[in-house]
């Protein structure tokens, strides 16, 4: 199988490495607006060749969109118009509703499979690509009833070869649940970094004391705004909903501290400890 990866950054680059290593693809064509990324991906051996979108589409069995969701919304319609029978288009974007609304009713809708691998790091670009990013992680496939059987099968086989679990959801469910387990974590980290950077400016010396716990909660704040602003934009109402709840929880803790109600604070922490059951 010849695969084209549009966007040779963290996700696209890691996918390219895994597709090759696990034998799911024999040849990888990279497409990237940033010439320097394409060059670097070639140097790193992540892709076999760089090509224009036109050229790559002519020769590929599978075309993967691994670019920020706002860019997916621009490029996907072009691909959908050009896709040939037997070819499959797949995206790996972090929001799904807007993307699927965009292609709903397109005559070639069946050739598209909407996917979201629940894996990533806070880094970006070809140098951030790592092997085995996807191993034992979850791949969400959305609204699969609207994909052609053979297209879905090609993607499902690929997911198996990547040693990933598959979860099926509709786009609404997907956007809701990712707001809870992924998008709000990023908002929190960005806000925490801003908080502490501001305090540091006032006080100095803070970071001498930073240890593992701090690093854990703020590491996502290193994430790229190019990726995340489009996610927040395209999942705005779900993110606002969970953000409101999060602010409410923090305000409740603030009130308990102000009122020195440590018994209730203790009970709240005990309640939050239930997260142990979910995490390893």
What is the footprint of its own copies within residues 20-39 (CB under 8 A)?
none
* C-alpha torsion 31→35→41→47, nearest 10: 30
Residue 35 vs 278, nearer CB to its own copies = 278
3-state secondary structure of 87: coil
Task: Decide if residue 268 touches its own copies (CB under 8 A).
Answer: yes
Q: Nearest Cα to 29, choosing from 14, 43, 41, 44? A: 41
Residue 78 vs 250, nearer CB to its own copies = 250
Closest CB 224 distance from its own copies, rounded Å? 8
Who's near 255: CB < 8 A, 6+ residues apart?
none
Contacts (CB under 8 A) with its own copies, residues 58-87: none
Contacts (CB under 8 A) with its own copies, residues 224-253: 224-225, 228-229, 232-233, 236, 239-240, 242-247, 249-251, 253
Cβ atoms of 30 and 51 closer than 8 Å:
yes
Residue 52 vs 272, nearer CB to its own copies = 272
3-state secondary structure of 6: strand
Among 12, 68, 120, 126, binds its own copies (CB under 8 A): 120
Among 44, 80, 118, 130, binds its own copies (CB under 8 A): 118
Q: Nearest Cα to 7, choosing from 59, 58, 55, 46? A: 46
Contacts (CB under 8 A) with its own copies, residues 134-193: 137-138, 140, 167, 169, 173, 176-178, 180-182, 184-193
Task: Decide if residue 201 touches its own copies (CB under 8 A).
Answer: no
Among 121, 132, 146, 170, binds its own copies (CB under 8 A): 121
Who's near 261: CB < 8 A, 6+ residues apart?
none
Query: Hey, what are 185's tokens?
Result: 């974590």
Residue 32 vs 175, nearer CB to its own copies = 175
Closest CB 120 distance from its own copies, rounded Å? 7
Beta strands in the chain (DSSP E): 2-6, 27-31, 49-50, 62-65, 88-91, 112-117, 138-142, 165-169
């Amino acid at each position: 199988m010849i695969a084209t990866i549009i966007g040779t950054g963290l996700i696209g680059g890691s996918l390219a490495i895994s597709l090759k290593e696990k034998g799911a693809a024999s040849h990888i064509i990279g497409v990237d607006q940033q010439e320097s990324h394409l060059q670097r991906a070639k140097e790193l051996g992540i892709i076999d060749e760089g090509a224009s979108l036109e050229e790559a589409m002519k020769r590929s069995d599978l075309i993967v969109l691994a670019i920020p969701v706002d860019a997916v919304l621009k490029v996907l319609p072009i691909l959908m118009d050009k896709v040939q029978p037997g070819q499959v288009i797949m995206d790996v974007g972090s929001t799904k509703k807007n993307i699927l609304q965009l292609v709903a009713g397109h005559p070639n809708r069946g050739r598209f499979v909407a996917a979201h691998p629940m894996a990533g790091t806070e880094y970006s670009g070809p140098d951030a690509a790592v092997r085995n990013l996807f191993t034992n992680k979850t791949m969400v496939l959305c609204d699969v009833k609207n994909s052609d059987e053979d297209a879905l099968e090609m993607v499902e086989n690929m997911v198996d070869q990547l040693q990933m679990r598959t979860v099926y959801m509709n786009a609404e469910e997907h956007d809701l649940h990712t707001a809870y387990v992924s998008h709000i974590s990023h908002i929190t980290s960005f806000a925490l970094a801003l908080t502490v950077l501001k305090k540091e400016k006032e006080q100095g010396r803070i970071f001498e004391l930073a240890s593992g716990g701090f690093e854990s909660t703020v590491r996502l704040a290193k994430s790229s705004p190019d990726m995340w602003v489009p996610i927040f934009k395209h999942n705005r109402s779900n993110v606002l909903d969970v953000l409101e709840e999060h602010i409410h929880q923090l305000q409740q803790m603030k009130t308990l501290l102000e009122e020195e109600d440590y018994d209730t604070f203790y009970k709240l922490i005990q309640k939050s400890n239930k997260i142990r059951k979910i995490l390893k």
